[in-house]
Chain A
Amino acid sequence: MKRNDLILAGAILAVAAVILAFQFFRQGNGEQLVEISVDGEVFGTYDLTDDQTIKIGNTNRVVIEDGAARMEWADCPDQICVNHRAVSKNGESIICLPNQVVVTVVSSEESGLDAVAQ
């Protein structure tokens, strides 16, 4: 390893740390909501404190329980979203690329929602 390699590694780590810190401090204090979008368009917004099961068309099924959302079932072959850990923090998301389904945790304060569509 040359000295330049270490500088490069340090720079990449620094960038990662800055983004991570930014994400950490961006966390809102408001109610945590789960926003599901399909193909870039919002499919629905759900309360993270309400235990529920959401069917997204015939392709995916999201379960919200114990304050966290997870992809319970998907018809895609890779099952990456199903293996993804449950999300609960603001900004965290589960993405099912084949079906273009994005499940994101958002803060009600930040997004400025005045009503929750169930």
Chain B
Amino acid sequence: MKNRAAYFGVFTALALIFSYIETLIPIQFGVPGIKLGLANLIIVIVLYRTDWREALLLSVVRIILAGFIFGNLFSIVYSLAGGILSLAVMALLKKSDRFSVTGISMAGGVCHNIGQLIVAMIVVETYQVGYYLPVLLVAGLITGAVIGAVAGEVLKRIRNLSFQ
């Protein structure tokens, strides 16, 4: 347990670097909210190798730091809603033990988008935002599957490392 703080620092740094790389990708899809979610790779790995409390703390710290560095107050609120909902669902699905890393990451990606959409609906006070729902569902599914597949490979290779 004595290295816990040190590992947490490393994971936070990694998640922030991934957030930065994400901002370097200049692709616009014509629909807001679609992105790869590279930082979730770290969240998924931490969720699997430590526990959900650690992953939740990391997710919140990552979002607040990345929000202040690369985004604004709006992006922090949206990301927090997405991040917390996504992590809650991933933790529950992982507990049920019926899905692989890919499946859990897919659910996480989809829920991330749903969480952001709910906040957007509240902020602009219109259900019209729901127009984006199908696109965001499919986008979350694809990006979640990609992140999940990569996370699965990474987890296989770091099996012998202990992060406690």
Interface residues of chain A, those whose CB is within 8 Å of chain B, are 1-2, 4-5, 8-9, 12-13, 15-17, 19-20, 23, 37, 39-40, 77-78, 80-81, 83-85, 91-93, 95, 97-98, 100, 102, 104
Contacts and interface: CB of A to CB of B under 8 A. Distances in A.
A17 B141 CA distance: 13
Contacts of A12: 106, 110, 137-138, 140-141
Given A77-B72, A100-B123, A5 B134 contact: no
Nearest to B96: A4
Interface stretch (B3-11, B24-32, B50-58): B24-32
Chain A binding site: helix, strand, loop or mixed by DSSP? Answer: mixed
B137 A5 contact: no
B46 interface: no
A97 B134 contact: no
A5 B102 contact: yes
B94 to A, nearest CB: 12
Given A8-B103, A13-B138, A84-B30, A95 B133 contact: no
15 contacts: A1-B103, A5-B99, A8-B99, A9-B141, A12-B137, A13-B141, A19-B134, A40-B124, A83-B30, A84-B31, A92-B131, A100-B125, A102-B126, A102-B128, A104-B128
Interface string B98-137: 1110110011001000000000100111101101011101
Nearest to B149: A1
B124 A100 contact: yes
A5 B97 CA distance: 11
B74 interface: yes
Contacts of B81: none
Contacts of B32: 80-81, 84, 95, 97
B98 A2 contact: yes
